[in-house]
Structure 1
């Protein structure tokens, strides 16, 4: 299966792809560039907006705006056709250390927004990251729901919403866990090892779940996107022409396209000139509509 380049975006860190069925467009972020991107299926055009802080993860909101995990909190952001971007702080966060930011995040099936934090200096390997949940109308600073993470990633929910997946992509960890998830309270419990990624190619990065309940995760450093069955068995691995795929998301008119964002590292890229691009795969399975934030 050949990956199709849909945009030579040259993103430093292309992350958090989200398909908008209403617009038939793919949104994603470039974290260090502080930019939100939108690619239209109809004409293949790309538009981007500049934010005031690093954008790390996004989710659509029911009112047409977006919720975003940035550097010092969660924000409501609204991109406009004229290229301007409005942002409003929804909830602040007290980080464990300076120089931290949000990383991976998305909504659960009930429309609550989850996002994790990390120390930007990954080389430090500090397990000071945490997972936070934000409910509509919530007041006050965010409270950690899960702690002791280094680089939280791979957040996803099963089709029925009763299983939450979460990974830690730091080289010293490289694990994916599954949790039982209380859909009434938004509480994960019963944490267990789902996949030990040291036994597979690539570090676990961003993820998606398909309509069959299988878990797709980018194998960062390996140029692969892996599909695991609900019992944690490797089902298949699809290649992309870059070393660092970052996150995947289902989209397209029939939700049968797997879009993959990627990272463009510094240095000689003669062996991967398309690094930082956005790719499309046709995996032969369909995805699920991404839940909107219930605001």
Structure 2
């Protein structure tokens, strides 16, 4: 059965990514990594804002103190609150530039820490990391031998963490407790020709939704790894997904057009699947 989608925001993002529902503001956050832009979209009013960043930005999340936290090329930055805008003054929380490396996807854990991924621009094997950053700026590396650190999310009870290192084609699962992970194993593997797993989100039933780069789709996997639903899209580079809107019932999907010689008209747009399911409330970054 085909799942109907709508175009929420028609755009030409080079690398649209990181949809996140900002519950306090009633808006969706998303970004263009290569375009150095943070976007907001209010589905109730249609209002949109855009803010440029000084460097490539891999993820944006709400802060518990107000404002936003950014996973940037050179580290983790904070935007202070400012009424009517995507954020106020900027400052670094922790900064560790590495030549040839940039930020990629990130997620906020149940305890409010930010799990921030990196990758090399040339996608050299083992050149990326996944780090846990707390509200006071303390950072520790959780995984130090990944290539393209991507989707990260937690089960409804917080006891499992799901993770994607894109070139492996695997959606992996770890046991999670007290900011530590163990027991790494495979939940699902994307078959040849179906694309590469990119961003992910977990719904209230514990199912994992996975965006497929070069796959023109989002897939939903049950907690035991069974594929039970596919959302097909009219663009090849599907990057990430997140639930938002009233009751967290709508699935928002970001896409890209980078590297396409003849991109489809909607490549780089933000899509939405109304009433796709029920998402989990996402914690704000504790900083």
Q: Report the TM range for the smaller structure's normalisation.
A: over 0.9
Q: Does 1:192 align with 2:185?
A: yes
**CA positional deviation for 1:85:** 5.0
Which residues of structure 1 form unaligned runs of 5+?
Answer: none
Which residues of structure 2 form unaligned runs of 5+?
Answer: none
2:153 matched to which residue of 1? 156
RMSD over aligned Cα, in angstroms? 1.7
Given candidates 63, 86, 105, the residue that maps to 2:89 is: 86
Q: Does 1:288 align with 2:280?
A: yes
**CA positional deviation for 1:83:** 7.3
Q: Report the TM-score when normalising by structure 1.
A: 0.91
Asked if the contact 1:215/1:227 (under 8 Å) is kept, the reply is: yes
CA distance in 1, matches of 2:53, 2:97: 21
Q: Secondary structure at the match of 1:56?
A: strand
Alpha-carbon distance change, 25 to 82 in structure 1, aligned in 2, over 3 angstroms: closer
**CA positional deviation for 1:39:** 0.7
Q: Encode CA deviations 1:187-223: one digit per residue, 9 max, x unaligned.
A: 1111111111236722000010000000001011111
1:178 matched to which residue of 2? 173
1:221 matched to which residue of 2? 214
Q: Secondary structure at the match of 1:254?
A: helix
1:277 matched to which residue of 2? 269
Q: Encode CA deviations 1:17-72: one digit per residue, 9 max, x unaligned.
A: 11122222111111111111001112212210011111111211111111111011
CA distance in 2, matches of 1:79, 1:225: 33
Given candidates 256, 262, 270, the residue that maps to 1:263 is: 256
Asked if the contact 1:167/1:175 (under 8 Å) is kept, the reply is: yes
CA distance in 1, matches of 2:95, 2:72: 10
Asked if the contact 2:73/2:97 (under 8 Å) is kept, the reply is: no
